[in-house]
């Protein structure tokens, strides 16, 4: 199982970032079967990743859609790769809320792949309706992301299903395991249009949205997912340790 810890803007202190990284290293040493990826705020990435010999890897929380140059404030994929990131979260709903359209997400995917960063593509509906219209939006997010890519590139994408209504809440307001199972089947069906043969079944699919120690096991057991993208529960040492142990 893969556990991606999205620290968002919760951590503003390098000492705290180092503590969480040390904890992650201790946990992965003890608990086999769990791979941990940390997505720290950009300024901490290099300090944490340089000289890292552990199996804990790093992700950018976002990358610039630009190719660099005269772009004040933009951090391009190559800079993240050089600072030690192996993955990049692309299209998180909190970035989409700041203007990332499906077209921008597609640009970011290709920038990320061009620099050797494995993209973690976030998709998910704002809300659900009883007629299943929300599925069309999710399909659109997937198809606009996958269609421009080569087959080789498509195989590198990790899909993180994160329904917006479940993000930043608590375990009891998160998705039900049966609903997640259904969604994962749907996602793999759509992915089948872009990846022939058994290709779609090899894509790593993560779930994110109020994963906490209270619901993680149930979701992992019943929904054919390959791991989790965790926000708030990943920046608390106690809950983060519980999350890793439960997955082991």
From the CB of 88, what's the least distance to ligand PGA, in Å?
A: 14
Residue sitting closest to ligand PGA (CB): 231
Whether 92 is a known active-site residue: answer: yes
* Run of H or E residues at 38: strand 35-39
Q: Which residues bind ligand PGA (CB under 6 A)?
A: 6, 162, 167-168, 208-211, 229-233
From the CB of 174, what's the least distance to ligand PGA, in Å?
A: 8
From the CB of 126, what's the least distance to ligand PGA, in Å?
A: 14
- For residues 207 and 166, the answer to whether their CB atoms sit within 8 Å is no
**From 94, 107, 125, 162, active-site residue:** 162
Count Cβ atoms within 10 A of the Cβ of residue 197 and give its class: 0-12 exposed, 13-18 middle, 19 or more buried. Answer: exposed
**From 92, 94, 107, 212, active-site residue:** 92
C-beta closer to ligand PGA: residue 47 or 164: 164
Q: How many residues does the chain have?
A: 248
Whether 212 is a known active-site residue: answer: no
- For residues 41 and 102, the answer to whether their CB atoms sit within 8 Å is no
From the CB of 86, what's the least distance to ligand PGA, in Å?
A: 18
Q: Tell me the C-alpha distance between 235 and 107, whole Å.
A: 30
CB atoms within 10 A of CB 122: 27
C-beta closer to ligand PGA: residue 119 or 208: 208
Active site residues: 92, 162
């Amino acid at each position: 199982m893969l556990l991606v810890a999205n620290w968002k803007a919760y951590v503003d202190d390098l000492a705290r970032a180092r503590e969480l990284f040390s904890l992650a290293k201790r946990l992965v040493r003890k608990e086999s079967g769990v791979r941990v990826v940390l997505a720290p705020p950009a300024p901490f990435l290099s300090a944490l990743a340089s000289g890292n010999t552990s199996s804990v890897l790093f992700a950018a929380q976002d990358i610039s859609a630009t190719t660099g140059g005269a772009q004040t404030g933009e951090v391009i994929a190559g800079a993240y790769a050089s600072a030690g990131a192996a993955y990049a979260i692309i299209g998180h709903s909190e970035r989409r809320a700041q203007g990332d359209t499906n077209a921008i997400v597609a640009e970011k995917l290709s920038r990320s792949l061009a620099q050797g960063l494995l993209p973690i593509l976030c998709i998910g509906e704002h809300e659900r309706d009883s007629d299943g219209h929300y599925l069309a939006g999710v399909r659109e997010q997937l198809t606009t992301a996958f269609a421009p890519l080569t087959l080789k590139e498509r195989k590198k994408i990790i899909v993180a299903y994160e329904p917006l209504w479940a993000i930043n809440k608590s375990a009891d307001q998160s998705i039900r395991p049966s609903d997640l199972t259904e969604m994962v089947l749907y996602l793999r069906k759509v992915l089948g249009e872009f990846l022939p043969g058994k290709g779609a079944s090899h894509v790593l699919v993560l779930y994110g949205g109020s994963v906490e120690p209270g619901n993680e096991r149930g979701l992992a057991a019943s929904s054919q997912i390959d791991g989790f993208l965790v926000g708030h529960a990943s920046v608390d040492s106690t809950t983060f340790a519980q999350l890793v142990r439960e997955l082991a």
